[in-house]
């Protein structure tokens, strides 16, 4: 009898656990749907034109339900910014791989610049949304603190550059933070050139060449100079 009661109790616990997992999965899907909808609206109307009631209506829920996932508009924007940052660093161009420990720092930066050109061609709205978030953060200190758009981006680049200096791939006196900020500033300006698609690849290649020239070690510079003379 006790065994039967224990078995029934275990079964009920298992059912509740599965039900909870189902609710969690559904909640994650709904949360992702809200983020993607907000992302699309920002691309179309800008941050200033984003209304949480519009996001809720497009997803097919009421605003009270939306606020269960994102209590404020700032929380929703923060989620969009985090997802955007993840997309920027995990969207390799064909033939390359996203930067990770399996690649050298130089290879990771090569892949980073290739990814920029690829994303500008395939998902140009990412850069539109990125700049919208940057501009919104620059006008609102509270929003700037919540979004931290530059913070995560700079940390990603810093980690690659610091490892490059440590391994000897980049020169030992490289100002890592300033270099990362320069790369970010360059990326922010790329959307302004989308009206000249034929020039984008050349511009990114020129900047990439400048980067590797600027970060080269003394030995690499002497080798490059010797090859040019030959």
Within 10 angstroms of residue 168's Cβ, the number of other Cβ atoms is 12
CATH number of the domain where residue 160 is located: 1.10.357.10
| pTM for the predicted model, two decimal places | 0.73
pLDDT exceeds 60 at position 147: yes
Q: Spell out the residues 6+ positions from residue 52 whose beta carbon is closer than 8 angstroms to its own.
A: 63, 66, 67, 70, 73, 76
pLDDT exceeds 80 at position 32: yes
Within 10 angstroms of residue 18's Cβ, the number of other Cβ atoms is 10
Model pLDDT for residues 92-130, shown as the tens digit of each residue: 888 776 555 558 999 999 999 999 888 888 888 998 898
What is the three-class DSSP state of 196? coil
**CA 213 to CA 207: how far, in whole Å?**
10
- What confidence category does residue 223 fall into, taking pLDDT thresholds of 50, 70 and 90? very low
Q: Are residues 122 and 230 in the same domain?
A: yes
pLDDT of res. 200: 85
Q: Could you say which of 43, 71, 99 is where a domain stops?
A: 71
Q: Are residues 61 and 90 in the same domain?
A: no
Q: Are residues 103 and 12 in the same domain?
A: no
Q: Are residues 126 and 29 in the same domain?
A: no
Q: Are residues 46 and 84 in the same domain?
A: no
Q: Are residues 27 and 85 in the same domain?
A: no
Q: Are residues 145 and 92 in the same domain?
A: yes
pLDDT exceeds 80 at position 69: yes
Q: Are residues 119 and 204 in the same domain?
A: yes
Q: Please compute the mean of the pLDDT values over residues 196-208 and round it to a whole number.
A: 86
What own/partner pairs with CB < 8 Å and gap ≥ 24 does 171-174 have?
171/215, 171/216, 171/217, 171/218, 172/217, 174/215
**Closest to 39 measured CA to CA, from 13, 58, 25, 23:** 58
- Quote the distance between the C-alpha of residue 105 and its chain's center: 18
Q: Are residues 79 and 61 in the same domain?
A: no
Residue length of the chain: 230
Structural domain for 125, as ranges: 73-230
Strands of the chain (E only): list them.
none
* Least trusted range by pLDDT, from 64-68, 148-152, 198-202, 204-208: 148-152
**Closest to 89 measured CA to CA, from 203, 184, 201, 202:** 184
Q: Spell out the residues 6+ positions from residue 134 whose beta carbon is closer than 8 angstroms to its own.
A: 149, 150, 188
Q: Are residues 20 and 125 in the same domain?
A: no
CATH number of the domain where residue 14 is located: 1.10.10.60
Q: Could you say which of 54, 71, 88 is where a domain stops?
A: 71
Q: Are residues 211 and 107 in the same domain?
A: yes
Q: Could you say which of 71, 93, 119 is where a domain stops?
A: 71
**CA 193 to CA 127: how far, in whole Å?**
11
pLDDT of res. 151: 78
Radius of gyration of the chain (CA): 23
Percent of the chain with pLDDT over 70: 78
Handedness of CA 3, 5, 8, 12 (dihedral sign): negative
**CA 83 to CA 200: how far, in whole Å?**
25
- What confidence category does residue 62 fall into, taking pLDDT thresholds of 50, 70 and 90? very high
pLDDT of res. 227: 43
Q: Are residues 40 and 140 in the same domain?
A: no
| Contact yes or no for 119/184 (Cβ under 8 A) | no
Q: Whole-number mean pLDDT of the chain?
A: 82
Number of domains in the chain: 2
**CA 45 to CA 197: how far, in whole Å?**
23
């Amino acid at each position: 009898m006790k065994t039967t009661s224990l078995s029934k109790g275990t079964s009920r616990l298992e059912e509740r656990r599965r039900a909870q997992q189902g609710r969690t999965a559904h909640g994650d899907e709904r949360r992702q749907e809200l983020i993607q909808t907000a992302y699309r609206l920002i691309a179309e109307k800008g941050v200033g034109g984003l209304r949480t009631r519009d996001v809720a209506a497009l997803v097919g829920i009421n605003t009270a339900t939306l606020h269960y996932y994102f209590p404020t508009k700032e929380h929703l924007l923060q989620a969009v910014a985090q997802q955007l940052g993840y997309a920027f660093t995990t969207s390799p161009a064909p033939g390359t791989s996203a930067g990770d420990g399996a690649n050298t720092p130089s290879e990771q930066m090569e892949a980073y610049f290739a990814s920029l050109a690829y994303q500008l061609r395939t998902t140009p709205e990412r850069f539109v949304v990125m700049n919208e978030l940057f501009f919104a953060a620059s006008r609102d200190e509270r929003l700037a603190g919540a979004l931290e758009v530059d913070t995560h981006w700079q940390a990603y680049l810093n980690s690659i550059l610091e490892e490059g200096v440590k391994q000897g791939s980049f020169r030992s006196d490289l100002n890592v933070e300033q270099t990362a900020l320069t790369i970010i500033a360059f990326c922010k300006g790329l959307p302004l050139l989308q009206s000249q698609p034929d020039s984008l690849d050349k511009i990114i290649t020129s900047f990439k060449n400048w980067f590797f020239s600027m970060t080269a070690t003394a030995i690499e510079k002497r080798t490059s100079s010797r090859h040019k003379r030959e």
